[in-house]
Amino acid sequence: MWIKRDTDDVYSSIEDFPEGTVGFVYEVSYQGKKYIGKKILLHKRTLPPLKGYKRKRVKYVESDWKTYTGSNEITKKWKSEDCTRIILELCVNKTMMSYYETKYQFQMNVLEDDNYLNDNVLGKYFRKTLNKYMK
């Protein structure tokens, strides 16, 4: 179950999301540790063409967003029932998901705060590099 920040909206099924929502930016926390990331709701699967046809088929499959706890090695071990899972922003496309994820990671100082488990931002700014230059 996901809860939207600053509201009482609860998301436990894909029908609960507003129409046009592609994914969301989230914060997962457990025992004082936190992680900020993004999650897409539907994955695109390409299937082989039917017999006699050349064009590949496209199928959209719901992702594992209901039980997802993050892509970090530590957060993957957490149980979704034990975590506090908050949706920070609902997004209508992947570009906005990347923008808001980066925005919240910089706002919350995820690379400087030891309570956050994020190792990098955009695969470009790394915690270990930042620590090396700040000391």
pLDDT digits (tens, 9 = 90+) for 9-36: 899 999 999 999 999 999 999 999 999 9
Report whether pLDDT(134) > 80. no
> How large is the average pLDDT for residues 68-76?
91
Residue 133: CB atoms within 10 Å: 6
Bridge-based pairing state of the strands 84-91 and 2-4: parallel
Q: How far is CA 24 from CA 56, 76, 102, in A?
A: 29, 18, 13
Compute the mean pLDDT over every residue in the chain, rounded to the nearest whole number: 92
HSE-up (13 A, CA, CB side) for residue 84? 9
Calculate what percentage of the chain has a pLDDT beyond 90.
76
pTM of the predicted model, to two decimals? Answer: 0.88
Confidence of residue 61 (pLDDT cuts 50, 70, 90): very high
